[in-house]
Amino acid sequence: MVAALKLSWLLIVIGLALDPMCAKAQYGCGADPYINYTHFEACHDFLDGDQNIEEERRDIDFSKCLDRWPELIKGDN
């Protein structure tokens, strides 16, 4: 009984120690800061002048942003 209790506490401690390591590996240095952006958010930022997003999100065709979302066109207000 005591050995099982010690083993369960050991497993809990190991689990808590490994969780931050996995989080750091997933979102560590060099991670894509735009990975969670939707296509709409990426197009919006691109049209606002964000030069880095085009390099980071090569899966998006930014030339079609205004075709898909014409509401992103800036007016002469």
pLDDT for residue 57: 85
How confident is the model over 13-46, as pLDDT tens digits? 676 666 554 444 444 455 567 777 888 899 989 9
How confident is the model over 57-73, as pLDDT tens digits? 888 898 898 888 888 88
DSSP character for 51?
S
Long-range contacts of range 57-63, CB-CB < 8 Å, 24 or more positions apart?
57/32
Higher pLDDT, 12 or 70: 70
Q: What angle (nearest 5°) sits at the alpha carbon of residue 30, between those of residues 66 and 16?
A: 115
- Cα separation, 64 vs 71, whole angstroms: 13
Q: What burial letters (b/e) apply to 14-26, b meaning 16+ CB within 10 Å?
A: eeeeeeeeeeeee
Domain layout of the chain by residue ranges: 1-30, 32-70
**What does the pLDDT average to over 3-18?**
71
